[in-house]
């Protein structure tokens, strides 16, 4: 995340300073013009009352007599009034022009923000405020708006990808069911249990996809029911290993739980965590070659002592570095050639992440030194 630019004085302060400057400029103009105007007015008044010679308007002739004092006084008043009005009008015009420029400068980013908001409301989630680089309140608002728009854009992309992937995953078993049924009805295939078993297996796969999608959706919405209780981490990994012992033996893979401290406890739903661990072990067995070992471990997290890490380590080919950030994505496969022949929904690791995050934990994956990969989940420690 980029660091926020240095904050400049607040918008309210800058507005106050700007208008104060305009007022000060206007007052200064009047203050500068007032002394000579008033002085000239008093001089003319005095000359008119005394009848002093040589004092006239602009020095254009001898001063008037005493009888003309009233005329000179009226002339002085008129001239002073005219000058003051002209100065006031000019000062007001200048102040208005400055105010317009300042207002335009201040409201310009708001116009950009309003246009971006209109674009987002119209469905263009790529629109951005254009003011995120500022260091004031408008910049902070712009960064918040851009973050919101980016989140909406990611959510919309995830939604579209979700529906596309779900449709793709359901298309294959549906096609198998439709083709097998049509072949039986058309007499291409005989009416026997083998073809009925094919239809049943594909229907079960569809049901598994739907159930897994529901689990992921509930977890991401924060509505996944959890029966949270304290449990020894050692018990969780041993139960998961027992569930896969037969499959591992059939593959010629040595699956085992490394010794764990019985005092290491987690606060979790046993069944849901078992489901998450099963996804990790299933993934490891898919890539573990015959004669290799898959180990399941439990220990305090090296990153956060408030979490307990449950890891599954294999001796397979490892995970391509470019795929590491995506291994927990829905339906993502590092090997696109792998099919669903084993009857999985392709959502195992996505479910593991959703379940763990519903507990307030986190997941991760990394390649091991030498060969193999380590996929882990971290749960809140008890006590």
pLDDT digits (tens, 9 = 90+) for 67-102: 555 666 667 667 776 777 677 777 767 777 777 777
For residue 229, the model assigns a pLDDT of 93
188 three-state secondary structure:
coil
Cα angle 331, 275, 315; round to 5: 70
Taking the C-alpha atoms of residue 188 and residue 125, their distance in angstroms, rounded to an integer, is: 51
For residue 336, the model assigns a pLDDT of 46
Q: What percent of the chain has pLDDT over 90?
A: 21
139: which strand partners?
none
Sign for the pseudo-dihedral over CA of 361, 363, 369, 372? positive
Using CA atoms, how far residue 278 sits from 121, 180, 348, in Å, is 42, 32, 8
Burial of 157 (0-12, 13-18, 19+ CB in 10 A): exposed
Reported as a single tens digit per residue, the pLDDT across 305-314 is: 789 999 999 9
Q: What percent of the chain has pLDDT over 70?
A: 74
Taking the C-alpha atoms of residue 142 and residue 11, their distance in angstroms, rounded to an integer, is: 14
Q: What is the mean pLDDT of the chain?
A: 79
Reported as a single tens digit per residue, the pLDDT across 353-369 is: 988 988 999 999 999 88
Burial of 45 (0-12, 13-18, 19+ CB in 10 A): middle
Taking the C-alpha atoms of residue 295 and residue 251, their distance in angstroms, rounded to an integer, is: 15
Reported as a single tens digit per residue, the pLDDT across 231-283 is: 999 999 999 999 999 999 999 999 999 988 888 999 999 999 998 999 899 98
Which region holds residue 64: left if phi is over 0, alpha if psi is between -120 and 50, else beta? beta
Taking the C-alpha atoms of residue 110 and residue 174, their distance in angstroms, rounded to an integer, is: 52
Reported as a single tens digit per residue, the pLDDT across 25-63 is: 776 677 677 667 666 666 666 665 555 444 444 444 444
Q: What are the contacts of 369-373 at 24+ separation with CB within 8 A?
A: 371/315, 371/316, 371/317, 371/318, 372/292, 372/313, 372/314, 372/315, 372/316, 372/318, 373/284, 373/287, 373/313, 373/314, 373/316, 373/318, 373/319
For residue 331, the model assigns a pLDDT of 66
Strands 265-268 and 307-313, by their bridges, are unpaired
Token duo for residue 172: 């294959």
- Tell if the pTM clears 0.85, that is, is over it: no
């Amino acid at each position: 995340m980029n660091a926020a630019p240095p904050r400049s004085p607040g918008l309210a302060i800058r507005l106050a300073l700007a208008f104060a400057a305009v007022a000060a400029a206007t007052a200064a103009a009047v203050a500068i013009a007032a002394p000579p105007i008033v002085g000239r007015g008093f001089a003319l008044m005095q000359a008119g009352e005394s009848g002093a010679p040589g004092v006239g308007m602009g020095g254009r002739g001898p001063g008037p007599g005493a009888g003309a004092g009233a005329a000179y006084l009226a002339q002085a008043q008129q001239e002073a009034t005219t000058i003051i009005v002209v100065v006031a009008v000019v000062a007001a015009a200048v102040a208005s022009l400055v105010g317009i420029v300042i207002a335009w400068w201040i409201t310009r980013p708001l116009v950009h923000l309003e246009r971006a908001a209109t674009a987002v409301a119209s469905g263009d989630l790529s629109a951005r405020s254009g003011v995120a680089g500022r260091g004031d309140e408008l910049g902070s608002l712009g960064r918040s708006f851009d973050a919101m728009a980016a989140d909406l854009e990611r959510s919309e992309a995830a939604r579209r990808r979700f529906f596309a992937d779900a449709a793709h995953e359901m298309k294959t078993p549906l096609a198998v069911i439709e083709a097998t049924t049509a072949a039986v009805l058309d007499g291409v295939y005989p009416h026997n249990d083998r073809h009925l078993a094919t239809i049943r297996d594909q229907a079960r796969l569809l049901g598994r996809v739907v159930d897994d999608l529901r689990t992921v959706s509930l977890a991401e919405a924060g509505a996944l029911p959890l029966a949270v209780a304290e449990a020894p981490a050692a018990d969780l990994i041993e139960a998961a290993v027992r569930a896969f012992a037969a499959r591992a033996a059939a593959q010629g893979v040595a699956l085992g739980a490394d010794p764990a401290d019985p005092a290491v406890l987690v606060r979790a739903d046993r069944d849901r965590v078992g489901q998450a661990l099963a996804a990790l072990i299933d993934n490891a067995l898919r890539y573990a070659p015959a004669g290799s070992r898959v180990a399941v471990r439990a220990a305090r997290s090296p990153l956060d002592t408030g979490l307990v890490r449950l890891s599954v380590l294999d001796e397979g080919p490892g995970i391509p570095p470019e795929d590491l950030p995506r291994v927990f994505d829905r339906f993502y496969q590092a090997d696109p050639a792998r099919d669903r022949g084993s009857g999985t929904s392709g959502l195992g690791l996505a479910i593991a992440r959703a379940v763990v995050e519903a507990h307030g934990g986190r997941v991760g994956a990394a390649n091991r030194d030498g060969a193999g990969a380590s996929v882990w989940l971290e749960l809140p420690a008890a006590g």
